[in-house]
Chain A
Amino acid sequence: MPATTLLDDQHDPLGVAARRRRTEGWLVVLTVTLIVTGISAVGAGAIGIPPLTVARIIGHHLVGLPGEVSWSPPQDAIVWQVRLPRVLLGMLVGAGLAVCGVALQAMVRNVLADPYLLGVNSGASSGAAAAILFGAGAGFGQYALSASAFLGAFGASLLVFLIARSGGRVTAIRLLLSGVAVGYALYATTSFLIFASKSAEGSRSVMFWLLGSLGLARWDALLAVTAVVLVGAAGYLTITGRRLDVLAIGDETAQTLGVAPDRFRIRLLVVVSLSVGVLVSAAGSIGFVGLVVPHLARRLVGAPHVRVVPVAALLGAILLVWADVIARVLLAPQEIPIGIITSLLGAPFLLILIRRLHATAA
């Protein structure tokens, strides 16, 4: 036997090294794609700006390079004040939706679960509707909408949690059912608020918000909070990847492999509710990203969550930024709600997925 083969066998007795290398490869490819996406997306819009200029403007603001300014002040304002925060928010929201989708699919052991399953977005929508139509949360000043949406999201998750726990144990199916029930109740509340409101303009902006938009992105505290929460959530879910693996198999298996399923599920619930609450407050409810991206990530790197979570985060970020570019450019100067774009792209994808699912099951 040649010496190299022997050495390889010793290094990789289980034959898992190839998959690990493939994951690392994908992480590099996706990171590069994300950077390219970011720069192109900042350049794209009603006024196009060449990528090199974009890179120079960002470099100038971040580290003072290049010293010589060769672009116009309006270009600077468009890149730095308008489009960059929007693209960053898009990346954060896309990544956040994707990793929360991964966590929820493991938590309730259902491949059709998405981050909105727990009723969090319905709660946020009710809060946002109350703010837009009836001036709720006015005490929070410029953050009235976001604060009100977040309070709605928080109330919804608390309700879901309390109902799910009423039997003593937070099981997957109980969580699923209480999430759906609370979601419907709050959806009705939002619809009623819109119906009860006299303001047609207000109703229109609630609808716009319900379909999702990155238009609120500024260099403000909201962007900072969103960044901290979502990066924290992605980190937590990656670290607990092995525990997500065993939870996804079953509660009893999780327990015999050293993971207390109920306690872990409650922690996940806190992390996911907080993340979804923050991102819905920042960008409205954007469908399909959290449902579809986890499947895409699993196709690329397999099932272990240590790999799926970071890959899903990058994929979600890239996809959402491109969806936002389409939303801005397609009917420019008018902007299409981004949720329409993601649903249009996501639905056929989901159908393909279901076909594949049946093919492998049979």
Chain B
Amino acid sequence: MIEATRVSWRYGENPVIDGVSVTARPGRVLGLIGPNGSGKTTLLRLLYGALRSPTGQVVVDGDGLSTLSAREAARRLAVVIQETGGETALTVAEMVLLGRGPHLSAFQRTSRADHEIAARCLARVGAAHLGARPFARLSGGERQRVLIARALAQQATHLLLDEPTNHLDIRYQHEILHLVRTLDTCSIVVLHDLNLAARYCDDLVLLGGGGVVAAGPAGEVLDPAVLEPVYGIGIRRLDLDGAIHLLFQPTDHDTATERSAAA
């Protein structure tokens, strides 16, 4: 469980995240959604400690994140970020094995058990055949899957993903999020695609204007009346066979001009 209370971050003079509180519960998938620049990634970075909030605190399973050593934090939080290390000469297998690092002491070499875990994680993202390939020569989608396998190999109690469906084709977008959903970890996912958020997240936090616009079960947050003013686009919601589908209708040009003139 991750509980963040009143965390904030500013780039220069502009507060991106201003006194935001979120809670991610065990066994559930929390989605962070919001338009560009609403601070989704910044909030995620505050949650895994890449940024240290000057206000409030982040508590992971009862301990303040700032009190944990880097190794202990990495045993609790596995993170998939956009920094890929595309120039590395490591092979895919070696890359995934790095996920075992937080569990090994300085003098320990990776054991057979570590190799088995890494191989299993590669298989789970459908990348078992890539093991011997150089990581740097993979396509964007293959890299993303390998980085997710590395995060799985960390066997942490929490999984945090920043736009994990970037670079993935439609099939792997669904496969990866389905995988996240079937894990019994506490997961937090930054997502652009609201329909993916609708299908795979239990809870959602909608960010906008530096703060939380709405938070709660996905079905409640994905309300056109809530979303439309934040995204500035017409939205219709269909509930088909118990699943939510959102359809988007760009507001016509005149309204857009009016709006920008008013702003």
Contact = CB atoms under 8 A, between A and B. Distances in A.
Interface stretch (A66-74, A91-99, A247-255): A247-255
Interface stretch (B19-27, B90-98, B189-197, B254-262): B90-98
Contacts of A258: 70-75, 101-102
A330 to B, nearest CB: 35
Contact of B99 (A240, A243, A257, A259): A257
Interface stretch (B9-17, B104-112, B176-184): B104-112
B49 to A, nearest CB: 7
Contact of B98 (A15, A240, A246): A246
Q: Considering the complex of A and B, which 4 residue pairs feature the smallest CB-CB distances, nearest first? A: A249-B85, A258-B74, A13-B119, A258-B102
Contacts of B154: 257
22 contacts: A13-B115, A13-B116, A13-B120, A14-B118, A15-B131, A16-B93, A16-B94, A19-B91, A240-B106, A242-B98, A243-B106, A246-B98, A249-B83, A253-B85, A255-B50, A256-B48, A257-B102, A259-B70, A259-B71, A259-B101, A302-B94, A303-B94
A302 B137 CA distance: 14
A49 interface: no
A14 B85 contact: no
B94 A252 contact: no
B77 interface: yes
A11 B83 CA distance: 32
A246 B101 contact: yes
B112 A11 contact: yes
A360 B134 CA distance: 11
A13 B132 CA distance: 12
Nearest to A250: B83
Given A11-B112, A255-B49, A245 B81 contact: no
A253 B107 contact: no
Interface residues of B toward A: which range? 35 or more
A12 interface: yes
Contacts of B74: 255-258
Interface in B48-91: 48-50, 69-75, 77-79, 81, 83, 85, 87-91
Interface of A: 11-16, 19, 109, 239-240, 242-243, 245-246, 248-250, 252-253, 255-260, 298, 302-304, 306, 360
A14 B131 contact: yes
Nearest to B70: A260
B93 A256 contact: no
Contact of A252 (B77, B83, B97, B131): B83
Nearest to A245: B98
Nearest to B104: A242
A255 B83 CA distance: 12
B70 A14 contact: no
A264 to B, nearest CB: 9
A185 B116 CA distance: 53
A301 to B, nearest CB: 11
Nearest to B71: A258
B241 to A, nearest CB: 38
A256 B119 CA distance: 21
B94 A255 contact: no
- Which residue, of A19, A109, A298, A303, has the highest number of chain B Cβ atoms within 10 A? A303
A246 B97 CA distance: 11
Given A240-B106, A245-B90, A248-B88, A256 B118 contact: no
A196 B40 CA distance: 61
B115 A14 contact: yes
B98 A257 contact: yes
Nearest to B50: A252
A251 to B, nearest CB: 8
A259 B73 CA distance: 10
B94 A256 contact: no
